[in-house]
Amino acid sequence: MSEQVDVLICGSGSAGLCAAMWLARCGINYKILERQSGPLKNGQADGVQCRTVEIFESFGISEDMLKEAYHVLEIAFWSAAGKEGIQRTHYAADLEPGISHQPHVILNQARINGLMIEGIQHSSGGLEMDYGMQVKTVEVDSVAAKDPTAYCVTTTAVTADGIEKVFESKYVLACDGAHSAVRRSLGFNMIGDSSDAVWGVMDVYVRTDFPDMRKKAVLHSSVGNLMIIPREGDYLVRFYIELEGVAVKDVTFSTLEEQARRIFSPYTVEIVDTVWWSAYSIGQRVADFFTKENRVFLTGDACHTHSPKAGQGMNVSLQDGYNIGWKLAAVLREQAPPTLLDTYVSERQATAHELIEFDRFFTNLFSTSYRQEHGITADDFKNHFVRAGRYTAGQGVRYNKSVLVCPSAVAETLAAHLTVGMRFPSAQVVRLSDAKAMQLIRALPADSRWHVLVFAGDILDDQLARRLSKTASELHAIAQRYTSNDADADSVIQGILVIASDRRKVEQEQVPAFFTPVVGKWKIKCHHKTFADDRSYNSGHGHAYKSYGIDPKHGCLVVVRPDQCEYISDCGICPTDG
């Protein structure tokens, strides 16, 4: 007998668990099939870019990550110094100032997965996961796929005991890695190539007199290149080591250990314990298709693979899951038509191709032969590396025009520092109800709601107050149109008000009812949706309007998708359809 489930997730990596976070929060019937016998114990990925920390913050699970992780704050650059070995040439900030309110951190992938599993269990009371399940085939009934209610995908899997199980689902997510069984079953191919460059990687404990072992560091010596990534805790570090003239199959731990010693000279490095090591050749590949009939979707390493040095693999995979999860939930809850799922492919396939091009550039930048051939100096390398920081931080993704992204010339004049199609950045504001200074993004949790932020200016000005009243009335009508009578008024569309007034002169009754909905079991008016761009008692002034490039005399309206991507409109013009 087959088992029916709305969404079957094949693989419990970053993409699969992030998608499951959405589905569990939205009450969607899902199941994860994982071929391993239990949770990941020691993952190979460890770089957590600040965009990923923002995503964890949106799910309310970032605090433990930030407490446990190593925080990357500074990069040290070292270059060859002739017979003297290597010498430090530069220090630089790891992140461009103001790029995010969250840091770049390092934490083992197993722990990152564990945090998501804990988040799923907290939101739904359990985790729908079957371990020891190897997917064999995935088939889509193309005729039945035209019916949105059909369980048209049949997946066959085998347990560790050899027992075959069949699952019928409306949708399947392929989150099963670079050797994806789902991709192979569908007949999709990975397009790209591998280079001759070979790198080794090792997680080790070392005794050393090298002064920057607890900083992210890039070493260019006359005998090769090495990158240091300090790990969580006080002693564990990761080395990425360039190897020349050797095949991956011939690399041994002794090979890596000896090359590390040569690169670090004149400093001494004694490896006293090893957690893990490996060697790999660099390749960049993208799947030729990302979906089958809009019923099976490829995510993560199942559709894009690249080098690990830019720290993008786990992060981009997780963002794939962040993108598809809320869209599947919206379709299954009949809040959006199935055509919404077209945007997963258009958005994430373009992102994958951009990632591959960036990875080629970044890989070449680390290659000794490439730098010599193109005359790239140590100073050039540092400048290229620092400029690439916005992309490696996960803040370079911009989605193109679609039903979900509506760029316009008007938007650029309304909010000069916001870009339609990119994630909505945060700024400090002060909550009107209790004078709490907080990041505005905290008012936009990942709970499947759309967020409408109204920057109304100084509402102590009668003209702006009247304009706000009109805008709030029209927004209220739109929200009612999409909200059932038995649900909270803000359960689908949430209104957030950000004023540029002296908050101590504003009374609660001056805030329109759209921003103070009556909600919850006890039907109490909510006063937590109004904020002032004003000075706080202990945290200074956030200057949110200035940060976003919004004129407080005009204002604007920012619509933020459930995944924190933005659309911008005039504050006095509320779109009523589309």
What are the tens digits of pLDDT across the range 392-413?
Answer: 788 889 999 999 998 888 888 9
Q: Which of 361, 393, 425 is the last residue of a domain?
A: 393
What are the structure tokens assigned to 545, written together? 């309007």
> Catalytic residue at 97?
no
- Same domain assignment for residues 179 and 303: yes
3-state secondary structure 25-69: HCCCCEEEEECCCCCCCCCCCCEECHHHHHHHHHCCCHHHHHHHC
| 559: β partners | 452, 567
| Catalytic residue of the set 230, 308, 425, 517 | 308
Q: Using omega within 30 degrees of 0 as the cis cutoff, is the peptide bond preceding 266 cis?
A: yes
| Catalytic residue of the set 30, 35, 46, 467 | 46
Q: Which of 339, 362, 393 is the last residue of a domain?
A: 393
pLDDT of amino acid 153: 98
At 506-529, the pLDDT tens digits run 999 999 999 999 999 999 999 999
| pTM, entire model | 0.94
| 392 Cβ neighbours under 8 A, 6+ residues apart | 49, 310, 311, 312, 362
What are the structure tokens assigned to 289, written together? 């298709």
- Same domain assignment for residues 362 and 434: no
Rg of the chain's alpha carbons, rounded to an integer? 25
Below-70 pLDDT ranges, the chain: 195-196, 309-311, 568-578
- Same domain assignment for residues 363 and 430: no
Q: Which of 340, 360, 393 is the last residue of a domain?
A: 393
At 136-180, the pLDDT tens digits run 999 999 999 999 999 999 999 999 999 999 999 999 999 999 999
Domain that holds residue 414: 409-567
> From CA 548, how far away is CA 559, in angstroms rounded?
14
Number of domains in the chain: 2
Question: CA 213, 111, 49, 176: dihedral to nearest 10 degrees?
Answer: 120
- Same domain assignment for residues 308 and 184: yes
- Same domain assignment for residues 376 and 491: no
| Catalytic residue of the set 51, 111, 183, 231 | 231
> From CA 419, how far away is CA 322, in angstroms rounded?
20
**How many other CB atoms sit within 10 Å of the CB of residue 413?**
14
How are beta strands 304-305 and 428-431 bridged, if at all?
unpaired
| Catalytic residue of the set 151, 171, 240, 545 | 240
- Same domain assignment for residues 496 and 347: no
> Catalytic residue at 46?
yes
- Same domain assignment for residues 487 and 435: yes
pLDDT of amino acid 160: 92
> From CA 171, how far away is CA 328, in angstroms rounded?
8
The C-alpha angle 564, 569, 571, rounded to 5 degrees, equals: 110
> From CA 215, how far away is CA 212, in angstroms rounded?
5
- Same domain assignment for residues 308 and 389: yes
What is the domain-level CATH number for residue 519?
3.40.30.20
